[in-house]
């Protein structure tokens, strides 16, 4: 199926109840609804980003230029007064920070596929919050194109430490972040 046809199909696609759908490099990816640890982390992050300066949009699909991808980060942060007020897609160029909270079944997707997609779209900051490894990983300085895109800089902080979010000038207190129980550690970032 061509990129244009898959994008059109995805725009009309209705995922089954209790699932979330994303288009990642031409592949429709379905995931189950997040658990309470995940949702509590997203809420805590959102509460620490000043609403007066930033729009903090949950589950907002992002339009990625030049490729068939419409990821749906857990949080999209854009400067207040920028970006569209209507529509189903936020242009990637409006995003200053995209946040993903790792689920047990999204480790590779968050650390590899989405990292490359967000870097290719030149999103200034990509924050991965990882309740599997009890860490936050902030990627900045996007470079490259397509599947070879990546971020030049990476900062890892452990849960409980302050995580500077340079792209938006906020220091994130991670002291309330919980971890998943009975999960196997991974090797990322």
The encoded tokens of residue 95 equal 């995003």
Strand partners, 167: none
pLDDT tens string 103-146:
989 999 999 999 999 999 999 999 999 999 999 999 999 999 99
**Phi, psi dihedral angles at 97 (to 5 degrees):** -150, 135
| pLDDT tens figures, 76-106 | 999 999 999 999 999 999 999 999 999 989 9
Tokens of 42: 């997203």
* Residue 107: C-alpha distances to residues 98, 128, 169 (Å): 16, 10, 27
Q: Where are the domains of the chain?
A: 34-173
Q: Which fold has domain 34-173?
A: tt1808, chain A (3.90.1570)
Q: What are the backbone dihedrals phi and psi of residue 69, each rounded to the nearest 5 degrees, phi first?
A: -140, 135
Environment class of 189 (CB within 10 Å of its CB; exposed 0-12, middle 13-18, buried 19+): middle
């Amino acid at each position: 199926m061509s990129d244009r046809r898959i994008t059109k199909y995805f725009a009309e696609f209705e995922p089954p109840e209790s699932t979330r759908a994303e288009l990642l490099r031409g592949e429709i990816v379905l995931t189950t609804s997040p658990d309470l640890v995940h949702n509590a982390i997203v809420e805590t992050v959102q509460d620490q980003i000043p609403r007066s300066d930033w729009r903090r949009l949950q589950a907002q699909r992002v339009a990625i230029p030049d490729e068939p991808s419409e990821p749906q980060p857990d949080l999209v942060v854009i400067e207040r007064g920028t970006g569209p007020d209507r529509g189903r897609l936020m242009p990637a160029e409006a995003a200053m920070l995209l946040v993903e909270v790792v689920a047990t079944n999204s480790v590779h997707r968050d650390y590899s596929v989405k990292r490359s997609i967000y870097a290719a779209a030149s999103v200034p900051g990509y924050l991965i919050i990882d309740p599997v490894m009890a860490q936050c990983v902030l990627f900045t300085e996007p470079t490259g194109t397509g599947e070879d895109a990546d971020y030049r800089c990476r900062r890892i902080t452990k849960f409980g430490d302050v995580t500077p979010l340079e792209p938006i000038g906020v220091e994130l207190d991670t002291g309330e972040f919980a971890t998943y129980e009975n999960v196997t550690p991974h090797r990322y970032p």
